[in-house]
């Protein structure tokens, strides 16, 4: 390590889980080919970002494409005859 590089300090977080939950987490980690620690760490960060309202899933596109999308959304809607016909059919299921 070079003299100007800093070492990041890490803190331990512990939790208790039932044997069934531990097995389930272990199976999921194995399915992702990750250690249990790495799997739990990434899952906790995803949950934290969701709770804190951070954008974790961002779709990026070129500016011109985004401008085209906004222009399309601003245009008045045009009925699509086939969709109008399908939407007016009797429904086989009734929501109660």
For 8-41, the pLDDT digits (tens) are 888 999 999 999 999 999 999 999 999 999 999 9
User: Which pLDDT belongs to residue 93?
Assistant: 82
Confidence of residue 42 (pLDDT cuts 50, 70, 90): very high
Euclidean distance between CA atoms 77 and 20, whole angstroms: 52
**String of b and e for 42-53 (b: at least 16 CB within 10 Å)?**
eeeeeeeeeeee
Contact predicate 46/56, CB 8 Å: yes
Q: Give pLDDT, residue 4.
A: 62
Is the per-residue pLDDT at 65 higher than 80? Answer: yes
Asked if residue 18 lies in contact with residue 24, where contact means CB atoms within 8 angstroms, the answer is no
pLDDT score for 94: 79
Q: Report the pLDDT value the prediction gives residue 59, as an integer from 0 to 100.
A: 77
């Amino acid at each position: 390590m070079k003299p100007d590089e800093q070492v990041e300090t890490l803190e331990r977080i512990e939790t208790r889980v039932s044997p069934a939950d531990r097995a389930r987490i272990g199976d999921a980690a194995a399915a992702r080919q990750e250690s249990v620690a790495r799997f739990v760490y990434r899952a906790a960060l995803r949950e934290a970002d969701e709770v804190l309202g951070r954008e974790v899933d961002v779709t990026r596109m070129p500016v011109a494409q985004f401008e085209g999308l906004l222009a399309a959304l601003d245009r008045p809607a045009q009925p699509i005859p086939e969709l109008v016909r399908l939407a007016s059919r009797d429904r086989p299921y009734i929501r109660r």
